[in-house]
Structure 1
Amino acid sequence: MSEQDLNAQNVENEENVEQVEGEVETNVSDDAARIAELEKELQTTKELVASQQDGVLRGKAEVENMRRRVSQDVEKAHKFALNKFANELLPVVDNLERALGAADKESEHTKAMVEGVEMTLSSMMSALDKSGVKAIDPKGETFNPELHQAMTMIEVPGAEPNSIIDVMQKGFELNGRLLRPAMVVVAKGNGVDTNA
């Protein structure tokens, strides 16, 4: 090969190298653009996934809160389902107690009837007790406006002020919730104005 052929060959090789380098630069810049585009898509996808995870966690928490509220509502419904029914039975208890208070317990003619009323009252109170209904009979206790309704205040020598000296009508509660306050007579202290 002559020197001229070698120079031509070198020029051709250099042109080929320049062409390959140009193609490589084009491919590299295309690849860089594609990588930048893919990184942007990846970031957008990561943000979307994070947002969806947050939404799922919030939804899960809301479902758990709803489940807890429903459970509490069901528990309260079970606990206080007898509220209306128990309130309907309280006048029956009152009437049975009034009948016993008015009955002549010494008379032979009414002895069987008094025993029957006592048994009926006892059975009624037992059934109410099993259902969570408890009587409030606060005689001798200190007046509590959350559980008692003062019907009158009177001076009683030797009685503590604000103590309950008589119960006109028992109160009742259902599983700790007041059904009816006890109607009571309260002792007033010396010099206390009850008209205030």
Structure 2
Amino acid sequence: MSDKHQPSTSPSAPFSPEETEAAMAANTSDEMDRLNAELAELKAKSADLADQFLRAKADTENARRRAEEEVSKARKFSIEGFAESLLAVADSLDAALAMPEATAQQLREGTDATLRQLLAAFERNKLLAINPSAGTKFDPHFHQAISVVPAAQEANSVVMVLQKGYLIADRVLRPALVTVAGPQ
């Protein structure tokens, strides 16, 4: 038999135009299906990320709002502990004024007790006195010089405290008012 009349089945044989067009259409259809599936997947991821973003933004806003409320409350009530410490001092002063016939000795004892209560309240609330002794080197961070006087001690040292100063923790609330020794 002759091979001339039989159709070619070898892999290198060219496709007919119809077969080529059908293969391209099938490839295009498969590619479109793949791209549509990928697009749907990306849209789902995008929606999920948008949702996560909105939730994170809402959480951040809520945290910021709560922090602002806490700061506001802290400012508003920060003095509460100190004020509570001073109530005993106020009660002692009221009791002293309620005694019209108190003797000088009773007033003195009551005043000493009230001062001890006040100093204890200061200590509990980290309010510390600045009361430098004579001869202490003048420190402008803690002392305020009212005057410079001649003195028989080292220049630029405290001669006398006119008014105590106070610290809250490590911060100067009021410097001590002092006189300072001048140069000799």
- Structure 1-normalised TM-score? 0.54
Residue 185 of structure 1 is aligned with which of 168, 171, 179?
Answer: 179
Query: What are the superposed Cα offsets for residues 70-100 of structure 1, whole Å, 9 maximum, x if unpaired?
Result: 5994796499526996xx9xxx9xxxxxxxx
Question: May I ask how many residue pairs the two structures share in their alignment?
Answer: 158
For structure 2, list consecutive stretches of 5 or more residues without a partner in the other structure.
8-15, 91-102
The Cα of 1:163 is off from its aligned counterpart by: 1.4
Corresponding position of 1:124: 118
Would the alpha carbon gap of residues 44 and 69 (structure 1) be closer, same or farther in structure 2, given more than 3 Å must change?
A: same
The Cα of 1:117 is off from its aligned counterpart by: 2.1
One-letter amino acid matched to 1:119? A
Corresponding position of 1:164: 158
The Cα of 1:35 is off from its aligned counterpart by: 2.8
Q: Aligned to 2:147, what secondary structure does the other structure show? A: strand
Please, what is the CA RMSD of the aligned residues?
A: 4.9
Corresponding position of 2:95: none
C-alpha distance in 1, partners of 2:47/2:149? 75
Query: What are the superposed Cα offsets for residues 82-121 of structure 1, whole Å, 9 maximum, x if unpaired?
Result: 6996xx9xxx9xxxxxxxxxxxxxxxx8444333322221
C-alpha distance in 1, partners of 2:158/2:130? 12
Corresponding position of 2:94: none
The Cα of 1:170 is off from its aligned counterpart by: 0.6
C-alpha distance in 2, partners of 1:82/1:144? 32
> Quick check: which one's helix share is greater?
1
1:153 lines up with 2:148 in the alignment: yes
Q: Aligned to 1:161, what secondary structure does the other structure show? A: coil
The Cα of 1:64 is off from its aligned counterpart by: 10
- Structure 2-normalised TM-score? 0.57
Corresponding position of 2:97: none
